[in-house]
């Protein structure tokens, strides 16, 4: 039985481990943290659960492509799934705008507000429909196994999207907003920009199209633990507190790994499902790269990092009229706040009170988060007092803004926790604290092997397979590819 060592117990690593076991390999995951899930995590403070990942999970609905993968990984079975009617409920100073995730309902609703923008509203709704079409595209085999016919079929299947991507890949959100005549809708489109990791319009339909992507009860860590459970029940081994320093290479073949404490583990195959930068430039010393890989790491922007303020509050917000039935509640502030040197005119709140497992009875968990650049935090982290003070500033600014939104909340806060890009880097090692790898990861066609290095593969968000479905799909496809090389039939389910 061939032995596979997998670096990283995030969703990509766990998935690779599960499919390795389903296909008869001896699988060992090495994870530097003491928990599974990587970025897909949550933590507890005084009876409250604070979640760091899932807003919505593509594949919870049986209509969606990824449903099958979550079934194979036993990730969602037995869990209640919560769905929302809106993706964003936006509170402008004088008006509330609901971004329904159903494109027909959205169009009907927005046309009542701005009949003069009928054409633009139809365009917005159509872009959301395109996102759903993408979500329902059938699963394909691993891209490495595509023959000429598969490539042809792929091109044909993308025909309906060619015009769409050509038109919108380079359109900025502000440009799209400018095309509305109604000033409120113009402002609304500009406001939701802050929820998207990029300035391109394409991020907007992606944000709105959350109809069939629910929230699994218990949140991110529970979700990750279900996959870990699937892996161990298939006989897989997971080693925690095991940080990998080097990938061992003999005659251009990966032959195992070396842990930080010097321990060496030999294997037939190595899969890195860990951060791409440290895999390529540290564990492998930058010895196995080509022009394309160097270009990507030197030039391609990454999805920014996350600054998160998690709050446990002695208030039952489960049926609060303003804070129900949407993924995000986005507020325009009376007075902008400064967060780590950047002015923020809006804050968005996530209210987890719909899930009773998140807080003691009668209480609620809220999260306020911001996309931020990690460089600022890396710099001030060197001065512990300054870092602590900056966290305190963020906490104060967020509480003051929340008080304007939910009067009386200040007195009811029982626990507050600020996590920064440094927290994220410390716990998951992700380069620049990125929450999803490269911004253009989907279109960069990043190779999942390295030039001239045999028996080595990469999976997860740094090879363009971002988001939870991408990461899980990546682990699956890598095993499909390995099976093909080993002349084995790829199996995807086992009791």
Ligand X SMILES: Cc1cc2nc3c(=O)[nH]c(=O)nc-3n(C[C@H](O)[C@H](O)[C@H](O)COP(=O)(O)OP(=O)(O)OC[C@H]3O[C@@H](n4cnc5c(N)ncnc54)[C@H](O)[C@@H]3O)c2cc1C
Query: What does the binding site for ligand X look like in residue numbers (CB under 6 A)?
Result: 7-13, 30-33, 38-40, 52-57, 243-244, 273-275, 278, 306, 428-430, 435-436, 460-461, 466-469, 471
Q: What are phi and psi of 223, to 5 degrees?
A: -60, -50
* CB of 55 or CB of 141, closer to ligand X: 55
CB of 328 vs ligand X, minimal distance in Å:
11
* CB of 274 or CB of 311, closer to ligand X: 274
Say how many C-beta atoms besides its own lie within 10 A of residue 395's C-beta. Answer: 16
CB of 308 vs ligand X, minimal distance in Å:
7
Say how many C-beta atoms besides its own lie within 10 A of residue 390's C-beta. Answer: 21
Q: How far apart are CA 329 and CA 399, in angstroms?
A: 16
* CB of 40 or CB of 359, closer to ligand X: 40
* CB of 33 or CB of 222, closer to ligand X: 33
CB of 187 vs ligand X, minimal distance in Å:
26
CB of 467 vs ligand X, minimal distance in Å:
3
Q: Which of 50, 76, 73 is nearest to 62 (CA)?
A: 76
* CB of 268 or CB of 275, closer to ligand X: 275
Element (H or E) spanning 282, and its range? none
* CB of 435 or CB of 453, closer to ligand X: 435
CA angle 161, 163, 165 (to 5 degrees): 65
Q: Which of 99, 46, 97 is nearest to 210 (CA)?
A: 99
Q: How far apart are CA 122 and CA 104, in angstroms?
A: 9
Q: Which of 96, 107, 148 is nearest to 129 (CA)?
A: 107
* CB of 58 or CB of 186, closer to ligand X: 58
Element (H or E) spanning 239, and its range? strand 237-239
Q: How far apart are CA 273 and CA 227, in angstroms?
A: 15
- Check: CB of residue 56 under 8 Å from CB of residue 65: no
Q: Which of 119, 209, 135, 130 is nearest to 169 (CA)?
A: 130
Tokens of 103: 């494109």
Q: How far apart are CA 281 and CA 284, in angstroms?
A: 6
* CB of 102 or CB of 228, closer to ligand X: 228
CB of 41 vs ligand X, minimal distance in Å:
8
CB of 139 vs ligand X, minimal distance in Å:
16
* CB of 257 or CB of 406, closer to ligand X: 257
CB of 368 vs ligand X, minimal distance in Å:
12
* CB of 123 or CB of 144, closer to ligand X: 144
CB of 346 vs ligand X, minimal distance in Å:
17
CB of 14 vs ligand X, minimal distance in Å:
8
Q: How far apart are CA 479 and CA 19, in angstroms?
A: 6
CB of 483 vs ligand X, minimal distance in Å:
20
- Check: CB of residue 49 under 8 Å from CB of residue 365: yes
* CB of 180 or CB of 328, closer to ligand X: 328
Element (H or E) spanning 413, and its range? strand 413-419
Q: How far apart are CA 428 and CA 72, in angstroms?
A: 25
Q: State whether residue 119 is helix, strand or coil.
A: helix
CB of 83 vs ligand X, minimal distance in Å:
14
Tokens of 152: 């042809």
Tokens of 477: 């496809």
Q: At what angle do helices 103-113 and 118-135 cross, to 10 degrees?
A: 160
Query: Looking at beta carbons, which residue is closest to ligand X?
Result: 10
């Amino acid at each position: 039985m061939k032995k596979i060592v997998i670096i990283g117990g995030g969703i990509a690593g766990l998935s690779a481990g599960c499919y390795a076991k389903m296909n008869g390999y001896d699988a060992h995951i090495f994870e530097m943290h003491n928990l599974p899930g990587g970025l897909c995590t949550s933590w507890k403070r005084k009876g409250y659960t604070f979640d760091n990942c899932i807003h919505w999970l593509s594949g919870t609905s049986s209509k969606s492509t990824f449903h099958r993968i979550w079934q194979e990984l036993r990730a969602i079975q037995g869990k209640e799934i919560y769905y929302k009617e809106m993706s964003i409920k936006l509170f402008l100073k004088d008006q509330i705008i609901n971004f329904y995730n159903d494109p027909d309902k959205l169009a009907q609703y927005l046309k009542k507000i701005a009949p003069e923008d009928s054409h633009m509203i139809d365009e917005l709704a159509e872009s959301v429909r395109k996102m759903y079409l993408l979500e329902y595209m059938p699963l394909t085999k691993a891209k490495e196994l595509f023959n000429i016919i598969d490539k042809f079929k792929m091109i044909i299947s993308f025909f309906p999207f060619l015009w769409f991507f050509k038109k919108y890949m380079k359109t900025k959100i502000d440009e799209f907003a400018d095309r509305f005549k109604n000033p409120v809708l113009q402002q609304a489109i500009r406001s939701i920009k802050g929820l998207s990791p990029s300035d391109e319009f394409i991020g907007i339909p992606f944000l709105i199209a959350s109809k069939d992507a629910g929230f699994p009860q218990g949140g991110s860590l529970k979700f990750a633990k279900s996959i870990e459970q699937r892996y161990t029940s298939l006989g897989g081994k997971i080693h925690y507190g095991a940080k990998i320093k080097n990938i061992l290479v003999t005659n251009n073949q990966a032959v195992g790994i070396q842990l930080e404490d010097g321990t060496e583990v030999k294997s037939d195959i190595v899969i890195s499902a860990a951060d791409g930068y440290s895999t390529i430039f540290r564990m492998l010393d930058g010895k196995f790269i080509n022009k394309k890989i160097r270009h990507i790491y030197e030039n391609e922007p990454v999805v920014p990092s996350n600054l998160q303020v998690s709050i446990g509050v002695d208030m039952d917000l489960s049926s609060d009229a303003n804070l129900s039935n949407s993924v995000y509640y986005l507020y325009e502030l009376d007075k902008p706040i400064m967060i780590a040197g950047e002015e923020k005119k809006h804050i968005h709140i996530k209210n987890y009170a719909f899930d009773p497992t998140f807080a003691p009875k009668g209480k609620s968990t809220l999260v306020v988060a911001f996309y931020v650049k990690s460089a600022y935090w890396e710099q001030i982290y060197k001065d512990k007092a300054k870092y602590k003070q900056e966290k305190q500033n963020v906490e104060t600014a967020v509480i003051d803004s929340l008080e304007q939104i939910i009067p009386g909340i200040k007195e009811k806060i029982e626990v507050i926790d600020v996590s920064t890009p440094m927290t994220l880097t410390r716990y998951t090692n992700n380069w620049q604290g990125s929450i999803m790898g490269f911004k253009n990861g989907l279109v960069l066609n990043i190779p999942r092997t390295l030039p001239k290095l045999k028996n080595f593969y990469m999976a997860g968000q740094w090879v363009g397979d971002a988001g939870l479905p991408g990461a899980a799909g990546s682990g699956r496809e890598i095993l499909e590819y390995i099976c093909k090389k080993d002349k084995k039939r790829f199996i995807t389910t086992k009791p």
